[in-house]
Structure 1
């Protein structure tokens, strides 16, 4: 007599545990690394607190980005290092806070030089950023598992597949727990008094139910960096427009610094125009490389607020675009702040903490799921030993 086909519930159950024993391990690693990255800025600030503060010069304004970058690069050359400042991060509301200078990758290839803290008044380098390299390793482990090729290698595809697996976990787990099978009390309150496998199932299923919305946001936002097609489609759904594509080829390199209308470097003209029209708290100025067409300035109006962005012409310093989150729709704000959505910060500080705790719980789901699998297999072997005549039927049900 032919064996009956397994039911949909059985198929989803087998898919759930099969992915749990494979993708679940990767997701556990991604959860731990993601939780570490949730408060990266705070940890780095604590480790570098002696380099964050500078003496305030009353009545003396800080240097403009152009001369500030030039002085930092000159000190690197004096140390025998040829480096170009790619971006400067300034605390506009705190005159006693140092500037963070990030260097560009060498044109010949290799690792990006470590960022440094600098005095905003005279450009004196105060020292490199501690823990930056450690968090860079954590980020590479989170995004592509340290597999060679970084964003262009198989690691990006693998972590993206695991994010898809997380969505499968959520959907299959929700189906297997549908309220028609269990009462709401069983759904929402873990019963740790139950013995054996029932206790582990209650812990695994109930906590997963509570955290389901968080994991859905983590998976859907994480796919943003895994697949270009997904990012384009999500951008269209959120904003009604497809993401801008960079033109092919490179712009002719500029041989000399471009000057603004008043004769100052274009980046300083852009900075002067930005400072006169924007009340910003934290600002990151991306200095133009010889082949780039625009100067990008990203800024936050207040702590925890969405990111805004303005761009200026790299040759003249004239304003090109000025995108402010408070003037955009919800979908546009989400698309422009997807990293903050992924971290939970987009929804406020309590949500950010919840997202961090949910990420830390991922190894627990792998551990409880593996425990349930092992207990189930052990029970099946015990049943077979007690009744060998039904061993074939027991194998078919497992």
Structure 2
């Protein structure tokens, strides 16, 4: 009776929550290729003609746009090591929670064509996370993800064989016919993807429930970071999403702190010189978050020449008054549990 009850629940949830999970799977797969697709669609924005001179420094880019439009509030400036890669200036823009990434020619500061396709991927992201219906959809996708864990565990229980062998667990049996073959195919393929489903579900629930996220940090023994008002997002290179900060609020913070454009320009110039000296050839992109207050510190992040993944970023604090790095956090130095989180 217990096994029959499990089967009925497994079957019923499979044809209900399974539909939502299918949508989440397809949209998640599409979304994972966002950088590659956007670069393919917008090659004129991401790549430029290489010129026989150095790229403009962050300070020079800042000065250019300040002279051109003093009302523009710049959050961060990203420069790439690749001579053909464009630079990125993130600015405050109404409706853009993390600011708007403006692609610019790194040699002339010319604003490059706007990235096409961002709205599509924003829609795909919302469809993936909350079915585009806000908090209600978020609860639905979260509940369905919990059900995915139940699918995995109940499926293993339901197919637990009397005789254990690798062939019994993992081999499709083509000699079976009709419904028996379909059932066996479902069971075997389900076993193949058990580990992947559990990883997807356990990590995906981090965005669904605060209690789950807190539990993940505790189980892995990682201190949960506090929200910071940083300009840099997790991806860079034209993406407007990332795990950090509310970009759009940094401009107001600088005005209240009394940072003049001249002071910011000097801070950028000195920080760029210090970074170029210590990390020359050791980065693919570097992002300078414009100083929030006149404390002599510049927050920056950079990506290794060959990054382990798109969020494997190094963070550093440079004191441009004393011309030294006061803090450097390299991704490769993190412990495994920190990398997982």
Which structure's CA Rg is the greater one?
A: 1
Contact 1:115-1:129 at 8 Å conserved across structures: no
Tell me how far 1:54 sits from its aligned partner.
2.0
- Partners of 1:96 and 1:246 in 2: how far apart? 32
Q: 1:65 is matched with which residue: 40, 52, 58?
A: 58
What's the CA shift string for 1:113-146, capped at 9, x where partnerless? 7633211122111111121221111111112221
Tell me how far 1:19 sits from its aligned partner.
1.9
Could you say what secondary structure the match of 1:298 adopts? strand
Which residue number in structure 1 is paired with residue 167 of structure 2?
185
- Partners of 1:315 and 1:228 in 2: how far apart? 38
Contact 2:298-2:320 at 8 Å conserved across structures: no
TM-score by length of 2: 0.78
Q: 1:238 is matched with which residue: 220, 238, 246?
A: 220
Which residue number in structure 2 is paired with residue 90 of structure 1?
79
Could you say what secondary structure the match of 1:115 adopts? strand
Contact 1:232-1:243 at 8 Å conserved across structures: no
Which residue number in structure 2 is paired with residue 321 of structure 1?
327
Establish whether residue 28 from structure 1 lines up as the match of residue 29 from structure 2.
no
Which residue number in structure 2 is paired with residue 137 of structure 1?
123
Tell me how far 1:319 sits from its aligned partner.
4.1
What's the CA shift string for 1:27-77, capped at 9, x where partnerless? 10110011112221111111112333223332x3222224324535766x5
Which residue number in structure 2 is paired with residue 310 of structure 1?
315
Tell me whether 191-200 or 40-49 shows the greater mean CA deviation. Answer: 191-200
Which residue number in structure 1 is paired with residue 238 of structure 2?
none
Establish whether residue 226 from structure 1 lines up as the match of residue 208 from structure 2.
yes
Gap change, CA 1:49 and 1:193, over 3 Å in 2: farther
Tell me how far 1:173 sits from its aligned partner.
0.8
Question: What is the CA RMSD across the aligned residues, in angstroms?
Answer: 3.4
Which residue number in structure 2 is paired with residue 361 of structure 1?
none
What's the CA shift string for 1:202-225, capped at 9, x where partnerless? 222211111111111111111222
- Partners of 2:210 and 2:289 in 1: how far apart? 26
TM-score by length of 1: 0.68
Contact 1:312-1:321 at 8 Å conserved across structures: yes
Q: 1:56 is matched with which residue: 50, 53, 56?
A: 50
Q: Which runs of 5+ in 2 are unaligned?
A: 230-251
Contact 1:114-1:128 at 8 Å conserved across structures: no
Q: Which runs of 5+ in 1 are unaligned?
A: 1-5, 336-398
Establish whether residue 166 from structure 1 lines up as the match of residue 148 from structure 2.
yes
Establish whether residue 196 from structure 1 lines up as the match of residue 196 from structure 2.
no
Could you say what secondary structure the match of 2:113 adopts? strand
Could you say what secondary structure the match of 1:101 adopts? strand
- Partners of 1:174 and 1:213 in 2: how far apart? 12
What's the CA shift string for 1:352-389, capped at 9, x where partnerless? xxxxxxxxxxxxxxxxxxxxxxxxxxxxxxxxxxxxxx
Contact 2:172-2:188 at 8 Å conserved across structures: yes
Which residue number in structure 1 is paired with residue 289 of structure 2?
287
Tell me how far 1:186 sits from its aligned partner.
3.6
- Partners of 1:238 and 1:271 in 2: how far apart? 36
Which residue number in structure 1 is paired with residue 304 of structure 2?
301
